[in-house]
């Protein structure tokens, strides 16, 4: 079936294409009520659907720049072969907050992942994005391309010092320190850390630094054998738990740098016949919803994921409207949420 175009609606309604455009784009004041009703009747009868690309071309200008009311959300894949982001509930919580904030402000989202080293700038230009939110990108030469594109950009959870980019994040090093110190205060000394890939400058590296800070403050020498590196997913948590249970290292507690890893560990330890927290304690990081309903409920480092998404959306919308917006940098606070997965030992 041929696609119904604006000129088809105009012919059916007996009006000009410009009149149909006014009706479709909500320019009510330029069309009489009778004509509007006739055009809307033709739209319904013919099944016309507005072309979003055409909408972009006909959009308004702000400070001389044409607005598409479309924001890109990019989640680079930092681990080769990793499936798209929704396997980790963290991303769903973040995206929900971004989408809601954008929608109530009249914006829509274009959500995409990219493979390692794949550029997003061509997509951004082709779709005339008003702004880009990038979540979890490692500092790289690719950031130069985003800067040269002059598209307003908010980096979330990215340790980048370039003042061209707006920034939203947390103090990951402090969060790693707080998690480890919490375990130390509960009497634990043999504490393992289970983490995703540790890059030169990134979230996992910062959380590992926080772990090292806390154990050294307690007078405990850092032991590389207590660090398990893998992928940020449930399956790696299962594998890591089994390795720890079989290691013979007398580990009494584990800091998992993401809740999705910690949830896998709870299941893995149970599979190995260990009780939590009686035999081994576990603390996570993020405070996703599932940590409240798992058994036992997970003690974790809480970051306000919803607030993080909301802040990123508010900044990019403000930047889309004002190209000269002063750089904004927001740090969301972290705290410990105590539940049932950590016990005090002598």
Q: Which band of pLDDT confidence, cut at 50, 70 and 90, is reported for residue 40?
A: confident
What does pLDDT average to over the chain?
86
Return the SS3 of 186: coil
Measured from the Cβ of residue 216, the count of other Cβ atoms closer than 10 Å reads: 11
pLDDT greater than 90 at residue 100 = yes
pLDDT (tens digit per residue) in 53-74? 455 444 554 555 556 789 989 8
pLDDT (tens digit per residue) in 235-259? 999 999 999 999 999 999 999 999 9
pLDDT greater than 80 at residue 28 = no
Measured from the Cβ of residue 94, the count of other Cβ atoms closer than 10 Å reads: 25
> How far is CA 272 from each of CA 47, 194, 257, 275, rounded to the nearest angstrom?
59, 17, 21, 9
Mean pLDDT of 92-117: 84
Query: What would the two tokens of residue 161 be?
Result: 């010092």
Q: What is the CA radius of gyration of the chain?
A: 25
Q: What is the pLDDT of residue 324?
A: 84
Return the SS3 of 104: helix
Q: Which band of pLDDT confidence, cut at 50, 70 and 90, is reported for residue 195?
A: very high
Mean pLDDT of 99-120: 78
Q: What is the pLDDT of residue 66?
A: 56
Structural domains of the chain in order of their starting residue, each with its CATH number: 6-50 (no CATH), 65-170+305-332 (3.40.50.2300), 172-303 (3.40.50.2300)
pLDDT (tens digit per residue) in 116-170? 445 666 666 666 788 999 988 776 656 777 777 778 899 999 988 777 899 999 9
Nearest to 5 by CA among 36, 45, 49: 49
Query: What separation, in Å, do the N-terminal and C-terminal C-alpha atoms of the chain show?
Result: 75
For residues 136 and 17, give the distance between their C-alpha atoms in angstroms, rounded to a whole number.
45
DSSP letters spanning 33-90: HHHHHHHHHHHHHHT----HHHHHHT--EETTEE---EEEEEEE--STTPPPGGGSHH
pLDDT greater than 70 at residue 29 = no
For residues 324 and 345, give the distance between their C-alpha atoms in angstroms, rounded to a whole number.
55
- Tokens 């009747």 locate to 41
Q: What is the pLDDT of residue 57?
A: 45
pLDDT (tens digit per residue) in 73-87? 988 765 555 555 567
- Predicted TM-score (pTM) above 0.85: no
> How far is CA 218 from each of CA 38, 79, 191, 299, rounded to the nearest angstrom?
77, 33, 12, 21
């Amino acid at each position: 079936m041929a696609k119904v175009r604006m000129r088809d609606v105009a012919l059916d309604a007996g009006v000009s294409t410009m009149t149909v455009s006014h009706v479709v784009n909500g320019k009510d004041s330029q069309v009489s009520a009778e004509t509007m009703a006739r055009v809307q009747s033709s739209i319904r009868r013919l099944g016309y659907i507005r072309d979003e690309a055409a909408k972009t071309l006909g959009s308004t200008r702000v400070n001389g720049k044409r607005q598409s009311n479309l924001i890109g959300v990019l989640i680079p894949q930092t681990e080769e072969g990793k499936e798209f982001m929704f396997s980790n509930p963290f991303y769903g919580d973040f995206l929900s907050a971004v989408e809601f904030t954008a929608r109530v402000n009249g914006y829509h989202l274009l959500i995409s992942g990219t493979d390692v080293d794949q550029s997003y700038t061509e997509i951004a230009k082709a779709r005339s994005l008003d702004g880009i939110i990038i979540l979890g990108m490692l500092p790289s030469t690719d950031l130069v391309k985003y800067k040269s594109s002059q598209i307003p950009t908010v980096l979330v959870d990215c340790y980048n010092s370039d003042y061209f980019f707006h920034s939203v994040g947390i103090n990951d090093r402090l969060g790693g320190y707080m998690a480890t110190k919490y375990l130390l205060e509960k009497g634990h000394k043999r504490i393992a850390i289970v983490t995703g890939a540790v890059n030169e400058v990134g979230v996992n590296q910062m959380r590992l630094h926080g772990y090292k800070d806390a154990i050294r403050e307690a007078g405990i020498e850092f032991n590389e054998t207590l660090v398990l590196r893998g992928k940020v997913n449930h399956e790696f948590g299962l594998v890591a738990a089994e390795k720890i249970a079989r290691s013979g290292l007398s580990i009494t507690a584990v800091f998992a740098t993401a809740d999705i890893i910690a949830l896998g560990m709870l299941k893995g330890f149970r599979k190995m016949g260990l009780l939590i927290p009686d035999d081994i304690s576990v603390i996570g990081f993020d405070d996703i919803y599932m940590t409240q309903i798992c058994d036992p409920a997970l003690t974790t480092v809480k970051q306000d994921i919803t607030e993080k998404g909301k802040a990123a959306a508010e900044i990019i919308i403000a930047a889309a409207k004002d190209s000269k917006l002063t750089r904004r940098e927001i740090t969301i606070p972290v705290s410990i949420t105590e539940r049932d997965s950590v016990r005090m030992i002598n």
